[in-house]
Amino acid sequence: MTAQRLNVTPIDVGYLGVRGAGAAFAVSPGAAADATVLVETGPAVCLANLDAGLRSVRIAPEAIRHVLVTHVHLDHAGAAGHFAARGAHVWVHPRGARHLIDPERLVAVTRAVHGSRFELEYGMPMPIAASQVHAVGDGDRVMEAFDAQAIATPGHAKHHHAWVMRDAVRAHVFTGDVTGILLPQGTAATRFLAVPMPPSDMDAVAWRASIDRLEALVDAEEGGGRTVTLWLTHGGAASNARAHLRELRERLDEEHALCESLCREGLVPDGMPGPAAIDRYSAWLWPRADAAGVRPEDRAAFLGAAFMRMNLAGVAQEIAR
């Protein structure tokens, strides 16, 4: 049965200590807060912020029984195990399930990319009992009151779902990282969309197909009389879904092409970006961010050397496959 009205409440998790940098979403049908589900959890290190944010909107964190995650990267699902320890069930792409049950490899990969910043930015996830992890296939619908549907959207990660939840008049699409990252505290005038292309799954061809799929979804939902909102985990919502997807496609194409050419010029030997690659990348990226009005501190935090190294390593691995 489709709910009359789903309420979506974004909760800022305080990711990287920056307001607007990362969210989880509390979704409830009507006024029944006890039936609230959580989409995304933020990283483990931000759990206290998320709990406080839930309580501030009168949702008891301990009462959450279902958590849906778009993918298992630790800024999205890092605290899922903490909710599972309180009794929640976690719904995830089949390829992500084993990483929730045994996060060891995920932790190792994240540490390899983020080094000493791991503890500060992510924190340790808790393993989840297999009986509380539910793998959801592409197109499957779960949780009737929310009409939640998993849409496989690989590109940023192989195990990525966008979650659609529908009520009578709206389709809420929780897009994780597949629709990019809006830098925090942007406005309509200073919007800047970043495209995270991390190891080890980055796949531009799959990503473009995922954008096609989301565009078709928007067409179908709007054709069915629903307005569509894309809820990005990082940076806010996009109520003009079509315009957002168009911009995303352009940004992906141009930034991927740049990273690819730097790799092909030999500036990312063995997947390790050298200083020349970072110089060239920043000379390309930062003027664009500056022109868009991105604050210098946000540019440093979100588009700095760590971001560029991640993208170059991701694309280098993609080319080597």
Least distance in angstroms from the C-beta of 103 to Zn ion: 15
310 contacts: CB under 8 Å, gap ≥ 6: 113, 196, 197, 198, 199
Query: Nearer Cβ to Zn ion, position 59 or 151?
Result: 151
Least distance in angstroms from the C-beta of 212 to Zn ion: 20
Helix (H) or strand (E) holding 171: strand 170-176
Query: Nearer Cβ to Zn ion, position 99 or 166?
Result: 99
Query: Nearer Cβ to Zn ion, position 177 or 298?
Result: 177
CA distances from residue 116 to 112, 122, 242 in whole angstroms, order as listed: 9, 11, 39
- Stretch of 27-35, 172-180, 182-190, 245-253 lying at the interface with Zn ion (CB under 5 A): 172-180
Half-sphere exposure of 182 (CA within 13 A, CB side): 24
Instruction: Give the distance, in angstroms, between the CA of residue 261 and the centroid of all CA atoms in the same chain.
Output: 26
Residue keyed to tokens 């069930």 = 89
Q: Is residue 160 a contact residue for Zn ion (CB under 5 A)?
A: no
Query: Nearer Cβ to Zn ion, position 73 or 82?
Result: 73
Whose CA is closest to 175, among 32, 40, 306?
Answer: 40
**Residue type at 77?**
A
Residue keyed to tokens 């709007």 = 222
For residue 103, give both structure tokens. 């996060």
Candidate residues 12, 121, 167, 177; the one interacting with Zn ion per rule CB under 5 A: 177
- Stretch of 24-32, 58-66, 71-79, 212-220 lying at the interface with Zn ion (CB under 5 A): 71-79
Least distance in angstroms from the C-beta of 124 to Zn ion: 18
Query: Nearer Cβ to Zn ion, position 73 or 161?
Result: 73
Distance CA 104, CA 102 (A): 6
Query: Nearer Cβ to Zn ion, position 26 or 202?
Result: 202
- Stretch of 7-15, 67-75, 223-231, 307-315 lying at the interface with Zn ion (CB under 5 A): 67-75
Q: Is residue 73 a contact residue for Zn ion (CB under 5 A)?
A: yes
Size of the site for Zn ion (CB under 5 A): 2
Least distance in angstroms from the C-beta of 176 to Zn ion: 7
- Residues 21 to 60 in contact with Zn ion, rule: CB under 5 A: none
For residue 33, give both structure tokens. 């807060």
Distance CA 41, CA 27 (A): 13
Residue closest to Zn ion, measured at CB: 73
Distance CA 178, CA 72 (A): 13
Least distance in angstroms from the C-beta of 1 to Zn ion: 33
- Stretch of 59-67, 69-77, 165-173, 300-308 lying at the interface with Zn ion (CB under 5 A): 69-77
- Stretch of 39-47, 174-182, 230-238, 273-281 lying at the interface with Zn ion (CB under 5 A): 174-182
Query: Nearer Cβ to Zn ion, position 186 or 196?
Result: 196
Least distance in angstroms from the C-beta of 7 to Zn ion: 26
Least distance in angstroms from the C-beta of 168 to Zn ion: 32
Least distance in angstroms from the C-beta of 264 to Zn ion: 25
Least distance in angstroms from the C-beta of 90 to Zn ion: 16
Compute the radius of gyration of the chain from its Cα atoms. Answer: 19
Ramachandran angles phi, psi of 24, nearest 5°: -120, 165
Whose CA is closest to 233, among 123, 61, 69?
Answer: 69
Q: Is residue 161 a contact residue for Zn ion (CB under 5 A)?
A: no
What proportions of the chain, in percent to the nearest 5, are helix, strand and coil?
A: 45, 20, 35
The contact set with Zn ion (CB under 5 A) reads: 73, 177
